[in-house]
Amino acid sequence: MRARHTLLVLGLLAACGTPQEQCIRMGARDLHVMDRLIAESRATLQRGYAIEETEVDNWVWVVCGPPPMVNGQVAGPPRRCFENVPRIERRPKAVNLVEERAKLASMEAKRRQLAQEAAPVIAACKAKYPE
């Protein structure tokens, strides 16, 4: 249920922006992903450790039905049940910093390649949708 809501919100956010921004976002999607991964790797190297996100069970009481009725009158409190509402925990994780530096260098090289490939797409978007 929560994943469905997250996808809906992401879909609505993706629809935001000018036509030019939408065109560039679609045409340079891999470049944006690489930028996020590079930023994450740089932060890991700066901290000296990674941050691992783990989904954990989080059982809570929720209202799961209408209150009992007798002759059209409420005959007690609403029914409650125990439901798992997962949450994300962030935990430090040890990493090999030498490997992380090599991974970062590789991603930066790939980013340069992606930027070259995306340049004509971005130029076409700017020509098609001038602001």
* Beta-sheet pairing, 69-70 with 73-74: antiparallel
What b/e readout covers 116-127, taking b as 16+ CB neighbours within 10 angstroms? eebeeebeebee
Q: Which residues contact 56 (CB under 8 A, 6 or more apart)?
A: 86, 87, 88, 89
| Residue 23: per-residue pLDDT | 86
| Residue 114: per-residue pLDDT | 94
Q: Can you tell me the mean pLDDT for 100-115?
A: 97
Amino acid in position 70: V
pLDDT in tens, 31-84: 999 999 999 999 999 999 999 999 999 999 998 888 888 888 888 888 889 999
Amino acid in position 106: S
